[in-house]
Structure 1
Amino acid sequence: PAATRQIDFLAFAPPGPAITVDDRETSSRVAERLHELGASITLERLEFGDYAIGDRILVERKTVQDFMNTLVERDLFGQIKAMAGAVPRPVLIIEGEEDLYEVRNIHPNAVRGTLAAITVDMGVTLMRTSDADDTAEMLYILAQREGSERGEHKVHPKKSYRSVREEQEYALASFPNIGMKSARLLLEHFGSLKAIIDAEAEELASVHGIGEKTAQGIWDLARRPYR
């Protein structure tokens, strides 16, 4: 019955801001609340993060307890760093009203250092929500804002304070199915955007971490006539 209910609310979701939900998150209250809000939900196994909004935002959701457990028992930094390398706008949501400093017996400065590394060093936006409903409503607003920006053709901010290197990375990452991680791999291998555009699909696919589908997509788009 629970599985049937999950399928039902996803199958008949009304149109709304588009959010891709990792298929391992469908049993959570977050997915159900997104449906109630009117989000257009797509189920997919995401390589990084729990929710994807367009091709620029990935959101990792952790409860306070899970965040602290991952910090102690699993590779929190590796997980967050991989997500941050995949998109221009990575987001970490820590859900729950518990005090981060009291959940586990960890020195407060270690927790502060972790938060500083995630936000400052990795460039991840950190958000706190009170519960699953609050998380869903935050995701819905993020999706609305991203859709509005896309509709106004604001692919990048008008004012840019990025280095040339970062501009090259963002330009390549704007290709379909190319995140920041793949963009950096390609730029490091070929040395310039022109070399990537001029490369054959087989050459692109030969780069470790770039699959044939991704390589063919770059090659096709670079040579497709503008109509």
Structure 2
Amino acid sequence: MQDTLIPVIADDREKKSDVVDELLRLPQVRLTIQRLPVGDYLVADRLLFERKTLVDLVASIKDGRLFTQARRLAAAKGIPALILQGTGSDLRSQGMSREAIQGALVSLAFRFGIPVLRARDGRECVSLMLYAAGQTADGKKVLLRRPAALGKSKQRRQLYILQGLPGVGDARSRHLLERFQTPANVFTASVDELKQVQGIGRIQAEKIYSLIHENPAEYRFSAGHR
């Protein structure tokens, strides 16, 4: 029956994805394709999913787009989530360390209140979205809480970028920005320059420098995560 179908709105920029192909195949889904102001899929009028391939995840971390999208997703109406699609082999030769990726995912979960889900392909993406819709149906209590919206100033965004570095919280990010003026200058600073910042000694400076410049040959997710 029509009123038992699960409504799904897919952003029109997703219409060529394997996720849309899978949604079109399912008789229990009522799919609409239109431009969404934020996110890629709105499921059951309450679940807002952003989908990223693992390659796009790395690119969005590098250009800062990930946290801009996260802020908008967290502030939007609905329950937000990020689905990462792909396998560990997709991250080979992407030039980003495991720690940098993990740091970004931790920020999504704890700073923005956005859970991160893993899917191997389009079929698993759809399974996750529909399962989540079932888990939150019929007035079931949702345990996710969204934090207050982040500040929109450029300085605040720069501070959040710096807070993704190891051991850098609110105070140290401010000291770094005062000393170097921009995140770009922080990323090109030497260990000796970093250790001159208030609250950052040599060990901390070496950790920051190592994270920024480390380029492992291969990044692998653990066997427990597909």
Q: Under TM normalisation by the shorter chain, which class is it? A: 0.5 to 0.7
Query: Shift in Å at residue 73 of structure 1?
Result: 2.9
**2:126 alignment partner AA:** A
Distance 1:86 1:131 in 2: 26
Match of 1:16 in 2: 5
Separation in 1, partners of 2:111, 2:93 = 24
More RCO (CA 8 Å, sep 6+): 2
1:98-122 Cα offsets, whole Å, 9 max, x none, are: 2576452123222121111001110
User: What secondary structure is seen at the aligned counterpart in 1 of 2:105?
Assistant: helix
> 10, 15, 18: which one pairs with 1:26?
15
Instruction: Show the counterpart of 2:69.
Output: 79
Aligned Cα root-mean-square deviation (Å): 2.9
2:48 maps to which residue?
58
The TM-score normalised by the length of structure 1 is 0.56
Shift of 1:135: 1.0
Aligned to 2:60: 70
* Contact 1:65 1:103 (C-alpha < 8 Å) held by counterparts: no
Question: Which amino acid in the other structure matches residue 13 of structure 2?
Answer: R
**Counterpart of 1:106 in structure 2: which amino acid?**
M
Q: How many residues align?
A: 147
Q: Secondary structure at the match of 1:94?
A: strand
User: Are the aligned partners of 2:54 and 2:91 in contact in 1 as well (CA < 8 Å)?
Assistant: no
CA deviation vs aligned residue, 1:39-85 (integer Å, no higher than 9, x gap): 11112210100000234321000011111111113511001111111
> Following the alignment from structure 2 to structure 1, what is the Cα–Cα distance between the partners of residues 10 and 117?
18
- Contact map agreement 1:18 1:143 (CA 8 A) in 2: no
Report the Cα distance in structure 2 between the residues aligned to 1:123 and 1:79, rounded to whole angstroms. Answer: 13
Residues 54 and 85, structure 2, Cα contact 8 Å, conserved in 1: yes
User: Contact 2:6–2:44 at 8 Å: present in 1 too?
Assistant: no
Taking the aligned partners of 1:59 and 1:161, their CA distance within structure 2 comes to 14
User: What is the aligned counterpart of 1:104 among 79, 94, 97?
Assistant: 94
- Name the amino acid aligned to 1:83: L
Question: Which ranges of structure 2 fall in alignment gaps of 5 or more residues?
Answer: 150-226
For the 8 Å contact 1:63–1:95, the answer to whether it is kept is: yes
How many percent identity over aligned positions? 27
